[in-house]
């Protein structure tokens, strides 16, 4: 995800000279320098001391160790952004200090193709200027939005954080059934993918909402109506509701577990 964000920033005109990445692996540092022309270091503290905006792109399991090392490097009042799922603000504030501006960000994997969706939540110390800086960073890889409270970050995870996998699973099923109906694997796969892409573009570019678009393509007594009625009969909406609530429950549990483990 860090590489996605860096690539998006460079593509959107951010100066490579203003980006410093701390990465422990020598090969990874070399690859980043060659790919993006940015500065790299193996020293987290050195990178943090000169940064206006610090993005913590590390696994939740090592966040405690990484963050506490930085706690005394933040006297210049940078904004700190965590993209780790499951690490609550309370834990980040305990490790960094109650006087640090912190943002939780939840991007998703389509950021890899600059079509990501990122939910953001800031603590009360984040300034308007810092919010704008953070928006520009994540706007570089797609869409951004701010939520009103931290609990809604877990809802963002259920909708967009895990969401790409929902669509990938539907694509898998459509391809498989297409093959069962007699289409060659490549044709079934291409039709499924291009249909998903086209539907997404229609939904984002049209003035009509998804309900209206569905109604427009559903002729009375036609094939689409027959398919959609089967979805309804089989409880598709209820299945999705249960699945997304399962994702939400797991996100909440992760926050509780990490918060308890790293007090």
Mean pLDDT of the chain: 93
Calculate mean pLDDT across residues 194-223: 96
Reading the block at residue 186, the tokens are 């490549």
Of the residues 152, 171, 202, which one is the last residue of a structural domain?
Answer: 152
Q: Does one domain contain both 107 and 229?
A: no
Taking 70 as the threshold, does the pLDDT of residue 260 lie above it? no
Taking 70 as the threshold, does the pLDDT of residue 249 lie above it? yes
Taking 80 as the threshold, does the pLDDT of residue 226 lie above it? yes
Confidence of residue 185 (pLDDT cuts 50, 70, 90): very high
120: nearest Cα among 99, 101, 93, 138: 138
- pLDDT reported for residue 259: 63
Q: Does one domain contain both 11 and 89?
A: yes
Higher pLDDT pick, 210 / 256: 210
Portion of the chain with pLDDT greater than 70, in percent: 98
Residue labelled with tokens 């209206």: 212
Confidence of residue 60 (pLDDT cuts 50, 70, 90): confident
Q: Does one domain contain both 80 and 199?
A: no
| Residue 258 belongs to some domain of the structure | no
| Residue 260 belongs to some domain of the structure | no
Structural domain including 76 reads 2-152
List the CATH number of the domain containing 219.
1.10.3730.10
Calculate mean pLDDT across residues 148-164: 95
- pLDDT reported for residue 263: 57
Portion of the chain with pLDDT greater than 90, in percent: 84
Q: Does one domain contain both 183 and 86?
A: no
- pLDDT reported for residue 146: 97
Environment class of 132 (CB within 10 Å of its CB; exposed 0-12, middle 13-18, buried 19+): exposed
Of the residues 131, 152, 173, which one is the last residue of a structural domain?
Answer: 152
Distance CA 87, CA 255 (A): 6
Q: Does one domain contain both 45 and 116?
A: yes
- pLDDT reported for residue 117: 96
Calculate mean pLDDT across residues 169-196: 98
When divided into structural domains, the chain yields a total of 2
| Residue 215 belongs to some domain of the structure | yes
Taking 70 as the threshold, does the pLDDT of residue 261 lie above it? no
Q: Does one domain contain both 62 and 92?
A: yes
Q: Does one domain contain both 123 and 169?
A: no
Q: Does one domain contain both 175 and 140?
A: no
- pLDDT reported for residue 213: 97
Q: Does one domain contain both 113 and 213?
A: no
Range with lowest mean pLDDT among 11-15, 144-148, 229-233:
11-15
Of the residues 152, 179, 199, which one is the last residue of a structural domain?
Answer: 152
List the CATH number of the domain containing 137.
3.40.50.720
pTM, entire model: 0.89
């Amino acid at each position: 995800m860090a590489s996605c964000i860096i690539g998006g920033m460079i593509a959107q005109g951010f100066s490579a000279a203003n980006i410093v990445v701390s990465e422990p692996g020598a090969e990874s540092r070399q690859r980043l320098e060659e790919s993006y022309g940015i500065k790299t270091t193996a020293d987290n503290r050195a990178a943090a001391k000169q940064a206006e905006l610090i993005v913590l792109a590390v696994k939740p399991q090592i966040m405690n160790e990484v963050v506490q090392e930085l706690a005394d490097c933040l006297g210049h009042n940078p904004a700190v952004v965590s993209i780790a799922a499951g690490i609550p603000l309370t834990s980040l504030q305990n490790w960094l200090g109650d006087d640090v501006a912190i943002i939780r960000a939840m991007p998703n994997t389509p950021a890899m193709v600059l079509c990501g969706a990122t939910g953001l939540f800031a603590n009360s110390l984040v300034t308007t200027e810092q919010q704008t800086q953070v928006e520009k960073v994540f706007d570089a890889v797609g869409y951004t939005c701010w939520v009103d409270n931290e609990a809604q970050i877990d809802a963002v995870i259920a909708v967009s954080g895990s969401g790409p996998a929902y669509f990938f699973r539907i694509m898998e099923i459509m391809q498989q059934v297409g093959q069962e109906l007699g289409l060659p694997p490549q044709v079934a796969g291409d039709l499924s993918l291009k249909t998903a892409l086209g539907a997404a573009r229609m939904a984002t570019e049209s003035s009509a909402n998804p309900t209206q678009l569905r109604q427009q393509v559903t002729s009375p007594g036609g094939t689409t109506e027959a398919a959609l009625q089967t979805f309804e009969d089989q409880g598709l909406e209820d299945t999705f509701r249960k699945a997304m609530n399962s994702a939400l429950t797991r996100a909440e549990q992760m926050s509780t577990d990490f918060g308890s483990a790293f007090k």
